Amino acid sequence: NTAISGTLAVTDDFNVNSKFTVTAASGDTSVAGTLGVTGISTFAAEVKLANDNALVTHTGTTGMKITSTSGYVDVESVRFTGLSIGKDGDPNTILLANQQVTITGKLDVTSDVDIGSAKFVVTASDGSLAIATDKFTVAGGSGNTAVAGTLGVGSTLAVTGAATLSSTLTVTSAATLSSTLGVTGNVNVNGGKLFVTASNGNTAIAGTLGVTGDVTVNGGKLSVAANDGSLNVNSGKFTVDGTNGNTAVAGTLGVTA
Provide DSSP, 89-121. TEEEEEEEETTEEEE-S-----S-EEETTTTEE
Residue 2 has a pLDDT of 85
Residue 93 forms part of a structural domain: yes
Per-residue pLDDT of 148-181, as tens digits, reads: 998 888 888 888 888 888 888 888 888 888 888 8
Residue 130 forms part of a structural domain: yes
Largest CA distance in the chain: 159
- Over 90: is that where the pLDDT of 239 sits? yes
| Spacing of C-alpha 88 from chain mean position | 32
What is the rounded distance in angstroms from the CA atom of residue 61 to the CA atom of residue 179?
78
Q: Strand 20-22 and strand 247-249: pairing?
A: unpaired
Residue 167 has a pLDDT of 83
Per-residue pLDDT of 70-103, as tens digits, reads: 789 999 999 999 999 999 889 999 999 999 999 9
- In this prediction, residue 1 has a pLDDT band, given cuts at 50, 70 and 90, of confident
Residue 137 forms part of a structural domain: yes
| Alpha-carbon distance values, 245 to 37, 211, 233, 248 (Å) | 126, 21, 15, 10
Residue 10 forms part of a structural domain: no
19 or 88: whose pLDDT is higher? 19
Residue 125 forms part of a structural domain: yes
Residue 60 forms part of a structural domain: no
Residue 101 has a pLDDT of 95
- If you average pLDDT over residues 210-237, what whole number do you get? 95
Total residues found in the chain within this entry: 257
Contact 195, 186 (CB under 8 A): yes
Neighbours of 79 (CB within 10 A): 19
Nearest alpha-carbon partner for 96 in 75, 113, 78, 82: 82
Residue 83 forms part of a structural domain: yes
Residue 138 forms part of a structural domain: yes
Contact 94, 82 (CB under 8 A): no
Residue 161 has a pLDDT of 81
Give the total number of structural domains in the chain: 2
What is the rounded distance in angstroms from the CA atom of residue 134 to the CA atom of residue 180?
34
- Over 80: is that where the pLDDT of 57 sits? yes
Domain range for 82 is: 73-103
Q: What amino acid occupies position 54?
A: A
Task: Clarify whether residues 118 and 98 are in a common domain.
Answer: no
Per-residue HEC secondary structure of 192-242 comes to CCEEECCCCCCEEECCCCCCCCCEEECCCCEEECCCCCCEEECCCCEEECC
